[in-house]
């Protein structure tokens, strides 16, 4: 029999009514002949409440205890979902991470999945269970302790379980009805995308689109698990995330992503000598700071300016790390700027179409938006702009690449 994975996020299981609504969607798929693994998040608000408790108790908390506390939210939903399905006449039972088991590494709080043993779950399907309700976000560490996968980790649970069960599809139910060309709150002309390639979704997610967790898309791409992002609150088809071969007509640009969580640091008058980059980025890596964009200005006199961006959460740590390494790096001044944002255009069509960057820069220039830093990948161009221009930049790029027009004349 064919297996379908259905994942319901926090807003989709916010209360008992929402759980019942989600359970009815599951029942419909069971009635249509699927065996279903349902992956559930905590009821919305629960995880924040539990994290709040932990933080109040201790700022430097033991991640293993954090995991024991926080994973309880998904445990509750899994039991309630199984009960609700049973009340609809569906043969369901709950599975905690340690029961499957879903084995992770020991990196508590943001553990990585190592192996999912589906033997017991498949045996239960064979015994006549129609639905396995799995607590998302959690697994069990090598030390037999509860380990969580990091915030938003239920998406990752869903994709990993879909891969392990060799599911036909993994449907991610959420509070939006699909992946949009950009955030409709910024550009009302944004349009729902019918199909998008894994690579594009990955770039959009990592450049700031919040609809799917980046790790879950990576995993779906690696194991070729087709995803569908769809709404818990309607029956409209959502967005299929799939292999690019399955997309008939690919666009030059598929979407525009943006992120406000950026901060820029410029080290002035750095000695332009071999090893200076290592002297800067080595300590940052050790301090666990993720450096995103890097620009080194042209040097005339043996000295140079080095500019890089970090996530705004890492900003204080990055600045402190650089001040501590000042003598070793040999820079004269540090200029920090938190008043920045990153805007990116993403599309697999860029591989075969030239001129995307040029068209992007021209469109921004026409609106008077100054570009501070540029990075590119095979299917993405990102620019750093002053924060106040972010919305304007998103809208003008959305128009420049004809994204609101469903015909997509630019492709």
Which residues are at the interface with a copy of itself (CB under 8 A)? 16, 19, 50, 53-54, 56-58, 61-62, 64-69, 71-73, 75-76, 78-80, 82-84, 86-87, 93-94, 96, 98-99, 120, 144-146
Nearest to 308 by CA among 271, 334, 272: 334
Residue among 57 and 320 whose Cβ is closer to a copy of itself = 57
What span, in angstroms and rounded, lies between the C-alpha atoms of 248 and 123? 39
Residue among 147 and 263 whose Cβ is closer to a copy of itself = 147
Q: 410 and 253 in contact (C-beta within 8 Å)?
A: yes
Q: How far is CA 59 from CA 40, 52, 53, 101, in A?
A: 28, 10, 11, 30
Residue among 61 and 223 whose Cβ is closer to a copy of itself = 61
Residue among 108 and 215 whose Cβ is closer to a copy of itself = 108
Q: 96 and 31 in contact (C-beta within 8 Å)?
A: no
What span, in angstroms and rounded, lies between the C-alpha atoms of 381 and 252? 12
Residue among 11 and 86 whose Cβ is closer to a copy of itself = 86
DSSP-based three-state secondary structure for 113: strand
Q: 382 and 376 in contact (C-beta within 8 Å)?
A: yes
Nearest to 403 by CA among 252, 177, 181: 181
Least Å distance, CB 171 to a copy of itself, is 23
Nearest to 199 by CA among 375, 355, 357, 347: 347
Residue among 144 and 352 whose Cβ is closer to a copy of itself = 144
φ, ψ (nearest 5 deg) of residue 152: 75, 10
Cβ contacts of residue 310 below 8 Å, gap of 6+? 262, 263, 265, 284, 289, 290, 291, 292, 318
Least Å distance, CB 22 to a copy of itself, is 13
Least Å distance, CB 62 to a copy of itself, is 6
Least Å distance, CB 24 to a copy of itself, is 13
What span, in angstroms and rounded, lies between the C-alpha atoms of 29 and 164? 20
Residue among 87 and 299 whose Cβ is closer to a copy of itself = 87
Least Å distance, CB 53 to a copy of itself, is 6
Residue among 43 and 241 whose Cβ is closer to a copy of itself = 43
What span, in angstroms and rounded, lies between the C-alpha atoms of 387 and 341? 5
Least Å distance, CB 56 to a copy of itself, is 6
Least Å distance, CB 197 to a copy of itself, is 39
Least Å distance, CB 10 to a copy of itself, is 16
Least Å distance, CB 117 to a copy of itself, is 12
Cβ contacts of residue 196 below 8 Å, gap of 6+? 179, 204, 239, 240, 241, 242, 247, 254, 255
Least Å distance, CB 31 to a copy of itself, is 19
Residue among 107 and 324 whose Cβ is closer to a copy of itself = 107
Residue among 14 and 369 whose Cβ is closer to a copy of itself = 14
What span, in angstroms and rounded, lies between the C-alpha atoms of 264 and 340? 7
Nearest to 85 by CA among 30, 23, 38, 143: 23
Sheet holding 303-311, edge to edge: 291-296, 303-311, 255-271, 333-346, 380-386, 371-377
């Amino acid at each position: 029999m064919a297996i379908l994975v259905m994942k319901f996020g926090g807003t989709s299981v916010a209360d008992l009514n929402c759980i019942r609504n989600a359970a009815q969607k599951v029942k419909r798929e069971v009635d249509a002949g699927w065996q279903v693994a349902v992956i559930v998040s905590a009821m919305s608000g629960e995880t924040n409440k539990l994290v709040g408790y932990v933080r109040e108790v201790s700022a430097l908390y033991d991640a293993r205890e954090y995991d024991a506390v926080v994973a309880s939210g998904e445990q509750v939903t899994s039991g309630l979902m199984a009960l609700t399905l049973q009340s609809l006449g569906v043969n369901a039972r709950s599975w905690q991470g340690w029961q499957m088991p879903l084995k992770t590494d020991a990196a508590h709080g943001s553990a990585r999945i190592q192996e999912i043993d589906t033997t017991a779950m498949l045996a239960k399907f064979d015994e006549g269970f129609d639905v396995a309700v799995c607590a998302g976000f959690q697994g069990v560490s090598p030390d037999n302790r509860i380990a969580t996968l990091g915030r938003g980790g239920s998406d990752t649970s869903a994709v990993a379980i879909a891969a392990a069960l060799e599911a036909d599809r993994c449907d991610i139910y959420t509070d939006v009805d699909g992946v949009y060309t950009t955030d409709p709150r910024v550009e009302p002309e944004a349009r729902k995308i019918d199909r998008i390639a894994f690579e594009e979704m990955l770039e959009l997610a990592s450049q700031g689109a919040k609809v799917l967790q980046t790790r879950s898309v990576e995993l779906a791409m690696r194991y070729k698990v087709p995803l569908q992002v769809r709404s818990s609150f309607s029956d409209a088809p959502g967005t299929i995330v799939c292999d690019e071969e399955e997309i008939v007509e690919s666009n030059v640009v598929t979407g525009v992503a943006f992120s406000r969580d950026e901060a820029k640091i410029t080290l002035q008058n750095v000695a332009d000598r071999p090893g200076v980059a290592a002297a800067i980025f080595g300590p940052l890596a050790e301090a666990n700071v993720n450096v995103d964009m890097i620009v080194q200005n042209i040097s005339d006199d043996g000295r140079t300016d080095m500019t890089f961006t970090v996530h705004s959460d890492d900003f204080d740590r990055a600045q402190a790390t650089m001040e501590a390494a000042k003598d070793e790096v040999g820079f004269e001044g540090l200029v920090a700027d938190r008043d920045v944002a990153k805007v990116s255009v993403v599309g697999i069509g860029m591989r075969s179409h030239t001129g995307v960057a040029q068209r992007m820069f021209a469109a921004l220039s026409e609106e008077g938006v100054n570009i501070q830093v540029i990075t590119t990948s095979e299917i993405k161009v990102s620019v750093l702009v002053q924060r106040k221009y972010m919305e304007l930049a998103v809208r003008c790029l959305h128009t420049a690449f004809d994204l609101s027009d469903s015909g997509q004349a630019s492709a």
